[in-house]
Structure 1
Amino acid sequence: MTIKENYELAKQSYEKWGIQVDEVLETLKKVPVSIHCWQGDDVTGFEVNQRELSGGIDVTGNYPGKATTAAELRQDLEKALSFIPGKHRVNLHAIYAETNGEVVERDELEPKHFENWVAWAKEQGLGLDFNPTLFSHEKAADGLTLSHPDEKIRQFWIDHCIKSRKIGEYFGKELGTPCLTNVWIPDGYKDIPSDRLTPRRRLKDALDKIFAEKLNESHNLDAVESKVFGIGSESYVVGSHEFYLGYALKNNKICLLDTGHYHPTETVSNKISSMLLYSDKLALHVSRPVRWDSDHVVILDDELKEIALEIVRNGALDKVIIGLDFFDASINRIAAWTIGTRNMIKSLLYALLIPHDHFRQLQEDGNFTERLALMEEFKTYPFGAIWDYYCEQMGVPVREAWLQDVKAYENEVLSKR
C-alpha cells in the first residue's frame, strides 16, 4: 500500500472518535519549535577570545565535523531543517555573535553583531530566540553571576542581560515575530550554604534592574529559567524553581521549564496544568536527562508524550512556547537535531490524535476502567501512518530516509572540516 492509502485507512480509526485528521495536520503545521543552535558546535560559540565551557555544562564525545564558524553552523542548521516538517525557529546564545575578528565583551554586544543571523532567518522564513550567555567566562569562574557578592561583577552581567534584551527586541522587529529572550544563570554552591536568602535577594535586585525598561511584547518576550541542581551546584541553586516561579508571576514574566533541571522523580509534564492556571504563557526547554541534567537527544518516550498531551488537552498550543535544549557530541550533530526535533513534533501529533473530550468525560463520570482501557489502546493506534503522510505532504523524508542524506553530507562536508 502507498503512504496515501495507509493514511486514508488510518484516518478511519481516528475519525470514528470524531477526530478530523486533516484538520489536525493543519494545526500541527502552525506549531513552531525553537531549535537550539548549540547542538551544532557543542556550546562553544564563536567569540574571538573563546573560553572553555563551564557553568555546570558538559558536552561529551568528539564526533567529527562540528561547526567552527557561524556560516558552517547556519549551513548545518539548513541541512537539519530540510528533514524536519513545518516552519520553526532557531534559538541563539550571545556567544554566537559575529564580530569580524574584533574582541567584543558581552556587556558591549549590539544588534549589529547578529545581522548575519537575521538576514539568514529572513531568507529561511524563521523566527529567532535569544539567550544571554552567563557561563564560560572568567567573570563566572566561581559559579556566580547575577547573585555575585562583588557589585562590579554583578553589574557586568546585568549590563550583558540588558544588551541581550535589546538584541531580542531587534530580532522581533526585523522578523515580525516576537523573540523569546531567556535568562538562565549557573549560580549556586557545591556544598551546603550558610545563607540562602542573601544571594537570592541580590538576584532579585539584579533582575529588577535588567527588566526595568519595558519592551514591546510584540518584539520581545522575557523569560526566566529555573534549575534545581547542577554540576558544582549540587546543594544549592540561587535561581530555584520556586524563586523564578514567584518572580515570573509577580513581574509578569514567562517562567521557562527545562526538563533536565529537576530531580529524577520530578516531571515537567505534571507542572504544566498548574502553571497554566496562573500564567498566560509558559516556555519549555525540552531535553532528556539521564540520571542528571545531561541533555541527551530527545526521544519519543513517555515523558515527551505526556508533555505534548498536557499542552494539547489543555488547549495551550498558543500558550506554551516550545524550545529544545540538548547537545550530544558522540553522534552526528545534524542527526541529533533531526531526531530530537522530529520526535518533539511527533509527540504533538500523537497528542492531537487523542479524543481528549471523551477521556475527560470518562474521568468526570468516574469510569476509570474504560478510561484506562482506551488510553492504553490508543497507544497502538496507527499514528505512524499519519506521521508518514504528514512528512510526505511537507516535503521532507519519510521515516528513516533522511539518514542516507545525513551520511552523504557527512562525507561531502563534515569530514572535510
Structure 2
Amino acid sequence: MAKSEQVEKAYKLAKERYAELDVDTDKVMDELKKVKISVHCWQGDDIHGFLNPNQELTGGIGVSGNYPGIARTPDQLTGDLHEALSLIPGKHKVQLHTIYAVTDKKKDFNEVGPEDFKYWVDWAKEEGIGLDMNPTFFSHPMVKNNFTLASPDKSVRDYWIEVGKKSREISNYFGKELGQRSVNNFWIPDGFKDNPIDKQSPRERLIQSLDTIFEKKYDENNTIESVEGKLFGTGIESYTVGSHLFYNNYAISRGKLWTIDAGHWHPTEDVSDKFSAFMPFGKGLMLHVSRPVRWDSDHVVIFDDALTRITRSLVRDNELSRTNIGLDFFDATINRVAAWVVGARATQKALLQAMLAPIADLKKAELNFDFTKRLAVTEELKSYPFGAVWDEFCLKNNTPVGTDWLNNIHDYEQKVQFPRDEK
C-alpha cells in the first residue's frame, strides 16, 4: 500500500473518532492553514548578516556549533529558506533584520533603507510569502557599554533612533509591496552587569527614544510595531532597561504589540499565562517561539509541554487573529535548514492538537462547574489520533509526511550546502 493510501486510511478513522466529539477535522485543517508562522532568517547564517558579516556578535547573543554548509550570501540564504518553506505545510512569512540588507555599496546601520531590501521583496513575491522586520541593535561599535536607545550619551541614542526610524520605513515598504502587514519588532540589549544606582533614568531615556522613533504615522495595514522585553542577558544580568513590565506598559500606553519571547522569562514561569492578562488591555501580541534550556539559550523549538500550553491558550481563548507567531532560535550544531523545519512543524502540530478539541463544549462544562467532564475529556484527548490528522494536513499541502522530509534535507545538504565549504 502506498504511503498516501495509508495516510488516507488512518485519517478516515481519525476523522470518525473526532466526529464523536463533534470536532470537524476538515474544518480544523482549513483553520490551521490560515495561521502563518514567521520564520526567522538568522537561523540560516548564525546571525552574521550581509552588512558586516565578520563583526563579532554582541548584545548577549551567541551561536553554538559549526555544522557545515552555512549560508554566506543572499542567494544561499534565500535558497536555504526556500528549501525549508517547501517542507513546511502552508504559506508563511520570513523575519529579517537590518543586517540582512543587500546593498551595492558599504552602508552603516543608520543608512539602510527600503531600497536595500528590494532583493528580499522580489524573492518574497516569487515565494508568495510576507516579510517581518527587526531593527538590529547589536553587533555594532555604537553599542556603547551595553547601551543603545537608553544610553546617557545623546549621540549614541541619536544614532540608534535613526536605525529604528529606517526600520519602520523598511517594514512599511514590505507591507505595501507584499500586501501583508509587516510586524516590526524592537529589542535592545541595554542594561547593567551589576546593580545600578539609578534605575529610572535609563527607562525614561528609552521611552523618549522610542516615542521619537514612532512619531511618524504609518498605515497599520502595512506595518505595526512590537516591543520585546527580556529577563536578562549576558552582560546585563542585574538590570535590563527594557524589562517585561516596562514593555507591557509601553505597548498598552502607546498602542503597540507586546512581544513575548518564550526564551526570555524565568524558567519557572509559564508564558502562556501572560496572554489572557494582557489581551483585554493590549492591541495584540507578537510571539517569538523559542526553547530555553536552563536560561535564554534559544534552542530549536520542539513539541513539548511549554509549546503545547502556548498554543492551547491562543486557541482556547480565540486569540490567534490578534497574535503573530514567529520563531526565534539559532543552532549551528545541526543542519540549519532542518532546524527551521523542526521548529515550524512542531509549532503547527501543537496548534493542530489544540484545535482538535470540543472547546465550546468544554467551556460550557466549565461554566456549569462540571470539572469532572473537563478533566476527563482533556485527558482522553491526549491519546486521540491527532498524528493521523497531521499527516493528512501535510499530504493536502504537498509536503512530506512523517520523517520523509529528512530525505530532502540529506539530498540538499549533499548537493547544495556541503559543497559551499569546499570553495
Q: Shorter-chain TM-score category? A: over 0.9
Give the superposition deviation at 1:264. 0.6
- Write the letter of the residue equivalent to 1:161: G
Whether 1:362 and 2:370 are equivalent positions in the alignment is: no
Q: Secondary structure at the match of 2:184?
A: strand
Aligned twin of 1:290? 293
State how far apart, in whole Å, the 2-side matches of 1:285 and 1:97 are: 22
Distance in 1 of aligned mates of 2:52 and 2:406: 34
CA distance in 2, matches of 1:353, 1:363: 18
Residues 262-313 of structure 1 show CA distances to partners (whole Å, capped at 9, x for unaligned) of: 1111121111111111123211000000001000000000111111111111
The root-mean-square deviation of aligned C-alpha atoms, in Å, is: 1.0
- Pick aligned residue for 1:47 from 45, 51, 73: 51
Shift of 1:141: 4.4
Query: What amino acid is aligned across from residue 372 of structure 2 in structure 1?
Result: T
For 2:388, the equivalent position in structure 1 comes to 385
The equivalent of 2:157 in structure 1 is 154
Partner of residue 83, structure 1: 87
CA contact (8 A) 2:255 2:283 kept: no
Amino acid at match of 2:292: P
Alignment of 1:102-141 (within 5 A): 102-141=105-144
User: Secondary structure, in 3 states, of the residue corresponding to 1:90?
Assistant: strand
Q: Contact 1:298–1:343 at 8 Å: present in 2 too?
A: yes
Q: Which amino acid aligns with 2:176?
A: K
What is the deviation of 1:373?
Answer: 2.1
C-alpha offsets along residues 173-227 of structure 1, whole Å, 9 cap, x if unaligned? 1001111011100111111111110000000000010000011101111111111
2:38 is aligned with 1:59: no
User: Which TM-score applies when normalising by structure 2?
Assistant: 0.97
Matches of 1:270 and 1:348, distance apart in 2: 17
How far is 1:50 from its partner?
3.7
Tell me whether 1:374 sits opposite 2:347 in the alignment.
no
Give 2:194's aligned residue: 191
1:73 to 77, 83, 103: 77
Distance in 2 between residues matched to 1:361 and 1:192, nearest whole Å: 50
**Structure 2 counterpart of 1:17:** 21
- Structure 1 segment 335-350 matched on structure 2, within 5 A: 335-350=338-353
* Matched residue type, 1:66: I
Q: Which residue of 2 aligns with 1:263?
A: 266
Q: Answer whether contact 2:183 2:223 (CA < 8 A) is retained.
A: yes
CA distance in 1, matches of 2:263, 2:339: 17
CA distance in 2: counterparts of 1:357 and 1:194, whole angstroms: 52
Residue type matched to 1:322 in 2? I
Tell me the amino acid that sits aligned with residue 131 of structure 2: L
1:32 equivalent to 2:36? Answer yes
Deviation per CA, 1:229-263, whole angstroms, max 9, x where unpaired? Answer: 11111111000011111111111111111001111
Q: Is the 8 A contact 2:182 2:222 kept in 1?
A: yes
Q: Give the conservation status (yes or no) of the 8 Å contact 1:148–1:154.
A: yes
What corresponds to 1:176 in structure 2?
179
One-letter code aligned to 1:155:
D
SS at match of 2:99: helix
Superposition deviation, residue 356 in structure 1: 1.3
Contact 2:144/2:156, CA 8 A, preserved across alignment: no
Among 230, 239, 242, the alignment partner of 1:239 is: 242
Partner of 2:10: 6
Contact 2:52 2:99 in 1 (8 A): no
How many residues of Structure 1 are paired with residues of Structure 2 in the alignment? 416
SS of residue matched to 2:96? strand
Matched with 1:407 is 410
Equivalent of residue 220 in structure 2, options 200, 217, 222: 217
- Structure 2: give runs of 5+ residues left out of the alignment: none
1:143 aligned onto 2:143: no
Q: Distance in 1 between matches of 2:170 and 2:209?
A: 19
> Which segments of structure 1 move beyond 2 Å, counting only runs of 4 or more?
361-370
SS of residue paired to 1:293: coil
1:85-100 equivalences in 2 (<5 Å): 85-100=89-104
The answer to whether the 8 A contact 2:43-2:340 is kept is yes
**Partner SS state of residue 406, structure 1:** helix
- 52 and 123 in structure 1: CA distance in 2 versus 1, 3 angstrom threshold: same
Letter aligned with residue 348 of structure 2: I
Is residue 49–residue 103 contact of structure 1 (8 Å, CA) maintained in 2?
no
CA–CA distance in structure 1, aligned partners of residues 142 and 241 of structure 2: 17
Amino acid at match of 2:67: Y
CA distance in 2 between partners of 1:313 and 1:371 (Å): 13
Q: CA-to-partner distance for each residue in 1:314-359, whole Å, 9 max, x for gaps?
A: 1112111111101100000011000000001111111110111222
Q: TM-score, normalised by structure 1?
A: 0.98
Superposed counterparts of 1:274-353, under 5 Å: 274-353=277-356
Whether the 8 Å CA contact 1:225–1:255 is kept in 2: the answer is yes
> Match of 1:167, as an amino acid?
I
Name the counterpart of 2:256: 253
What is the Cα deviation at residue 364 of structure 1? 2.2
CA distance in 1: counterparts of 2:194 and 2:377, whole angstroms: 48
% same residue: 50
Give me the whole-angstrom Cα distance separating, in 2, the residues matched to 1:4 and 1:298: 28
